[in-house]
Structure 1
Amino acid sequence: MTLLELFRLLKKHLRLVILLPVVCALVVGLYSVFFVRNTYTATASMYVLAQGESSSSTNLYSDLNASQMLTNDVAKLLKSDRIVDQVGSEVGVEELKGYKVDVTSETTSRVITLSVTGSDPQTAADIVNKMIKDVSDVARSVMNIRSVNPINQAQAPISPSGPNRLLYTVVAFLVGLFAAIVIVVVADMLNTRVRGPEDLEELIDVPVIGRIPTIEGGR
């Protein structure tokens, strides 16, 4: 099937090609509005200070490699069962179910960014602040770390961070459009009826030399 033939086929079934994507987009859009809850993301950053270091020391970057390894350890510790269970009991959310924890640490910095996403903005902010406090206590007791200092306190977000309802709707429209094209093409391939002289020539390999017109009301 050539591209021109495909366009002609889609034009023939234009109602389906338009209606199915629109219906899919409306269904997904309405579902995301009425049944998918808003999510909120609270974020804060922290600075890892190793033993023997001071924030005003001239040798702050002298042992950067070792400090970065400690920073990576702290980043992993933030997602450990010990911290998750401890913070979960403090905020009243068992194992932080329903909340997504994201930890970001760059290879050239000792700054760790902690983000928590969930349905309640204030709980998300409380989780971030308590995780920073608890991870500092644990890191001081089990690692060669002086402290994990918060750079800023997480505040309860006002605007939701998700879901991206527009993206869901657009994707549903494209999926519906693709499904409509597939349905039209497959239905055309399964249709074995002779629909014109071209199909007849391909079937019997004999050229059509004449046609008998249909006369309404005649014999």
Structure 2
Amino acid sequence: MEELDVRQIFTYLKRHFWLIICIVLVAASLSATITYFFITPQYEASATLYVFNDSNRSDTSISTTDITTSQKLIATYSVIMQSDNVIHKVIETTNLNYTPSQIRKMFTGTSVNNTEVMKVTITSSDPVDSMVLANAFIDVAPDEILRVIKAGAVEILDRAEIPQQPSSPSMMKNIAIGAVLGVIAAVAFVILYELFNTKVRNEENLLRVVKAPVIGYIPDLQLYQKDDKEVHSYGRRRKA
């Protein structure tokens, strides 16, 4: 197996350019096919809640401490909303055929840009179910949160709507990933093929393999025979 330098690698890649292109196209096409036919689209529906750190909101002024406390409460509220009590009430409200563990995997509760606004997101293969579940959570959550914590409160800002486009998978992203993997596979194949290819194609290749001077050349007899036949054929045409 011979050693490689950068110039040799580029020579090999140039020699097998169209093979590399074909492998990349096949990889990208395969990625698109798998994405379209074998990966189930997922839809996200989101609703938002405004979190207060005190259920008594007669004082309209809001301090920095109130905002910080509300932000911290969002993490607590998210855990409460994933409790069995809340999820069972969501199932009873929606009458959807999901288990608590399935709904828990669909649920995400996060703070919007580190504010007091909490976003409840449901990810499902059914766009209608994702909307129904997200709205059920924000309907059930306020009373259940107040019952558990006995402090703080939430108000509904926006209700979820039916998502029109899937959130995943991304066709273009997967095609790009497939193309990149195709390039890597094609380049690796070409380099390995050239490394283990023992065929000597020219003098430079021979010198690199045997590391000895060339003392003579063996002519290609088939090439001479071909040229000789062309000469005789030309002569016969002239005589005719």
TM-score calculated relative to the size of structure 2: 0.78
- Give 1:3's aligned amino acid: V
| Alpha-carbon separation, structure 2, partners of 1:61 and 1:123 | 38
**Does the CA contact (< 8 Å) of 1:68 and 1:107 recur in 2?**
no
* Correspondence for 2:90: 87
Query: 173, 177, 182: which is aligned to 1:171?
Result: 177
Structure-2 separation of matches of 1:116 and 1:158: 14
Q: CA deviation at 1:85?
A: 4.3
Matched with 1:12 is: 15
Deviations 1:178-219 (A, max 9, x none): 10111111122222343332233234432224423212239x
Change (3 A) 1:179 1:69: same
Alignment-derived partner of residue 73 in structure 1: 76
- SS of 1:138's partner is helix
Q: After TM superposition, give the deviation of residue 60 of structure 1 in Å.
A: 2.7
Note if contact 1:49-1:148 (Cα within 8 Å) is conserved in structure 2.
Answer: yes
1:113 to 2:115 alignment: no
Equivalent in 166, 174, 197 of residue 203 of structure 2:
197
The residue type paired with residue 40 of structure 1 is Y
Give the Å deviation of 1:43.
1.1
Taking a change above 3 Å as real, the CA distance of residues 195 and 107 of structure 1, as seen in their structure-2 partners, is closer
Distance 2:112 2:164 in 1: 28
Please tell me whether the aligned partners of residues 43 and 114 of structure 1 are also in contact (alpha carbons under 8 angstroms): yes
C-alpha displacement of 1:129: 1.1
Counterpart residue identity of residue 50, structure 2: Y
Gap change, CA 1:27 and 1:85, over 3 Å in 2: farther
2:140 corresponds, among 134, 155, 159, to 134
| Percentage of pairs with the same residue | 26
Which secondary structure state, in structure 2, belongs to the residue aligned with residue 17 of structure 1?
helix
Q: Is residue 215 of structure 1 aligned with residue 221 of structure 2?
A: yes
Tell whether 2:194 aligns with 1:188: yes
Deviates more, 1:156-165 or 1:124-133: 156-165
Q: Structure 1-normalised TM-score?
A: 0.85
Deviation at 1:40, TM superposition (A): 1.9
- Pairwise CA distance, 1:7: 2.1
Query: Could you tell me how far apart the structure 2 residues matched to 1:171 and 1:115 are?
Result: 27
In structure 2, which of residues 26, 34, 39 is the aligned counterpart of residue 36 of structure 1?
39
* Change in CA separation of 1:107 and 1:43 when aligned onto 2, cut-off 3 Å: closer
Q: Which moved more, 1:42-51 or 1:68-77?
A: 68-77
Which structure dedicates a bigger proportion of its chain to helix? 2
Structure 1 gaps of 5+ residues are none
Aligned amino acid, residue 97 of structure 1? Q
CA RMSD of aligned residues (A): 2.6
CA distance in 1, matches of 2:71, 2:106: 24
Length, aligned pairs only: 217
Structure-2 separation of matches of 1:43 and 1:214? 75
**Aligned residue identity for 2:62:** L
What is the CA-CA distance between 1:170 and the residue it aligns to? 1.3
